[in-house]
Amino acid sequence: MRRKPKGEGEMCCFLSSLWLLGPRFAFLIYWLIPWGRLKVTAAFGGSWFWALLGLIFLPWTTLMFTLVYPVIGLDWLWLGIAVLADISAYAAGAARRRDASFYRGP
């Protein structure tokens, strides 16, 4: 069994934290500034509920949808890339489960 060099695991945790918390933090900051609040309200039809659900489950897609709203032309491409980023974040978490020595799942 190969031993990891000192510090390799810590960097992975830091990058994983940025990948998971980065879009959520950016969206919350954007939501707090007055112009961003107007854009989020317009993008989600005045419903804070949909914005909050998107922030929890699809943070990259929610952030991108808010930034490119109203969606026209090639903006769908940016939304597709954001959806792929959300899928890859969930898939990477599932793939890394087997690296945890305490996990005994399927």
**Tokens 């898939």 appear where?**
91
Residue with tokens 């949808």: 65
By CB neighbour count within 10 A (0-12 exposed, 13-18 middle, 19+ buried), where does 40 fall?
buried
Each residue of 5-53: pLDDT tens digit? 555 555 566 666 666 678 888 888 888 989 889 999 999 998 889 999 9
Query: pTM of the entire structure?
Result: 0.74
How far from 74 is each of 32, 36, 80, 83, CA to CA, in Å? Answer: 27, 22, 10, 15
